[in-house]
Structure 1
Amino acid sequence: MLLTINIGNSSLRFGLFNNYNLKCNCSWIINSQPHRSLDEYIWLFRNIYQQYGILSKLIRNIVIGSVVPPLTNIVEQSLYEIHKIKPIIVDRYSASPIKHYSHQLGTDLYANAIAAYMLYNKKTTLVVDFGTALSLTCIDKHGNLQGVIIAPGVNSSLSALIGNTAQLSQIELKKPPSILGKYTEKCIQSGIIYGYLSMVEGLINRVNKELKTNCLVIATGGLSHVYTPLTKKIHLKDKLHTIKGLNILFHWNK
């Protein structure tokens, strides 16, 4: 089996695949905070394997995509201690079926573009990633990366708002009963849910207008389930889209 790991600023997403198969057998996520030692990661990974009934000896290959270099090394070391397998580290310079000319493209965005092209290459595709940052990655049907949009993430904006507002507890991210709220919690929910939804819909419209096409829109990331049901602009939701891209990168670079 192939173990894929997407290391982000807020979390680490894991996925287990049978080789050459993009159907994920098992997936889990852990918080990247607080920082852990090598021994803590080894203990945590082994505990997760036990929890999910995963036999570590069945994992024969490991691929890591990361936007957090300090975490990359310690995760790589901990997995090597468990499996005695050296993980393949992929990034924007790794070989792939798509074409881009960016020296700043994040590995997660690269993986998003690759998965979009390989899975939905009959038309131009836009991947909306509701992650630590909100990103929109566009790839055309010929495998050319058209570009990326990056905005502050939903949780980052919410945390900044609550952190600077007196007498507010944690706000639950869910659809409020109405656009106009009468209590502070509902008012903030409306701003965060419908405000971001309006931004995403507006950006999709602008991309379609600029490219003179109607993109196939895929939502991924931890909060994609909150926003996807609220709009017809998003056509598909796949929380595992990024690690599917890492799977493809592995097979292009092993």
Structure 2
Amino acid sequence: MNVVVDYGNTSAKVGIFKERRLVDKIVFDSAEKLRGFLENYSGDYIIVSSVSVDATVVMDWARHFKAKFILTPSLPLPVVNRYATPQTLGVDRIAAACGAYELFPNQHCLAIDAGTCITYEFLDAGGNYLGGGISPGLRMRFEAMHTFTARLPLIQPVDQPALIGTSTEQCMQSGVIYGLCDEIEGIILRYHEKFGDLKVILCGGDARFFENKLKAAIFAVPELVLSGLNSILIYNVNR
């Protein structure tokens, strides 16, 4: 079994793969719980990707594996990284791009990760990762309005906001949710205009929230980053 660890800003996701098939996913809300799991799990290979903690610390907990990999800018990838500053590229972003390549090889792909931030990752049909974009995510926008104003409250998103808000809360929900949907739709349209036909893959913690709100043709793959990490792991094991 392959074990992939995606340590994000708020939690750690662990995917367990049998070759290229995801057989189990576990979410840990604390480092202590993740440590307990890894110290007692015996698998073949493991890869760790982290944007919030030192990945070498997490790897020290993985005692019973044949081989271990940490996703860093120097780790070989199944795609060609054309990013101008690869040392600054978030590991979750390149993992999403590799996940898109795993699903749709030889096709233009736009991977959209709807998490703490919204990230856009473009991969051309030749397997070249070119970059993308970053913007504030759903909850970050609500928190920003509350933090940087004197009177706006901190509110939660709702599934079906009113278009015309009749209260401050409804107006904030309308502005954030419809504004973000139109942002995503607009960026997808720009990529279509520039590159023609492409596959659009939506992933991340808020993927389900946006899945039925977007008019563009998309593939919702919530575990795209885990699949991308597993493809990177397999690529390095077989080198």
Whether the TM-score (by the shorter chain) exceeds 0.5 is: yes
CA contact (8 A) 2:42 2:65 kept: no
Percent identical pairs in the alignment equals 27
CA contact (8 A) 2:44 2:65 kept: no
1:194 aligns with 2:183: no
CA contact (8 A) 2:119 2:135 kept: yes
Quick one: which amino acid aligns to residue 78 of structure 2?
Answer: P
Q: What aligned pairs does 1:9-28 form with structure 2 within 5 A after superposition?
A: 9-18=9-18, 20-21=19-20, 23-28=21-26
| Corresponding residue to 2:34 among 45, 48, 68 | 45
| Corresponding residue to 2:116 among 98, 115, 132 | 132
1:75 aligns with 2:64: no
Q: Distance in 2 between matches of 1:160 and 1:85?
A: 45
For the residue of structure 2 that corresponds to 1:180, the secondary structure is: coil
Which residue of structure 2 aligns with residue 94 of structure 1? 75
Q: Distance in 1 between matches of 2:188 and 2:175?
A: 19
Residues 161, 89 of structure 1: alpha-carbon distance in 2 compared, 3 angstrom cutoff = same
For the residue of structure 1 that corresponds to 2:62, the secondary structure is: helix
Quick one: which amino acid aligns to residue 26 of structure 2?
Answer: W
Q: Distance in 2 between matches of 1:5 and 1:100?
A: 21
Aligned-pair distance for 1:55?
11
CA contact (8 A) 1:62 1:87 kept: yes
CA contact (8 A) 2:142 2:154 kept: no
Q: Deviations over 1:183-202 (max 9, x none)?
A: 22222211221111111111
Q: Distance in 2 between matches of 1:58 and 1:178?
A: 50
Which residue of structure 1 aligns with residue 142 of structure 2? 158
The gaps in structure 2 that reach 5 residues or longer are none
Query: RMSD value over aligned CA atoms?
Result: 2.5
Q: Deviations over 1:109-157 (max 9, x none)?
A: 1111111112112421100001222111011121012321111222222
| Corresponding residue to 1:148 among 106, 123, 132 | 132
Residues 174, 71 of structure 1: alpha-carbon distance in 2 compared, 3 angstrom cutoff = farther
Quick one: which amino acid aligns to residue 8 of structure 2?
Answer: G
CA contact (8 A) 1:132 1:154 kept: yes
Q: Distance in 2 between matches of 1:182 and 1:227?
A: 23
Aligned-pair distance for 1:79?
3.1
| Corresponding residue to 1:113 among 97, 111, 117 | 97
| Corresponding residue to 1:248 among 222, 231, 234 | 231
Q: By percentage of residues, which structure has more strand?
A: 2
Q: Distance in 1 between matches of 2:155 and 2:42?
A: 42
Q: How many residues align?
A: 234
CA contact (8 A) 2:43 2:65 kept: no
Q: Distance in 2 between matches of 1:185 and 1:30?
A: 32
For the residue of structure 2 that corresponds to 1:155, the secondary structure is: helix
| Corresponding residue to 1:29 among 27, 30, 48 | 27
Q: Distance in 2 between matches of 1:115 and 1:177?
A: 32
For the residue of structure 1 that corresponds to 2:77, the secondary structure is: coil
The gaps in structure 1 that reach 5 residues or longer are none
Residues 85, 9 of structure 1: alpha-carbon distance in 2 compared, 3 angstrom cutoff = farther
CA contact (8 A) 1:219 1:234 kept: no
Q: Which has the larger displacement, 4-13 or 196-205?
A: 4-13
Q: Distance in 2 between matches of 1:45 and 1:115?
A: 23
TM-score, scaled to structure 2 = 0.87
Name segments (4+ residues, structure 1) moved above 4 Å.
54-58, 165-170
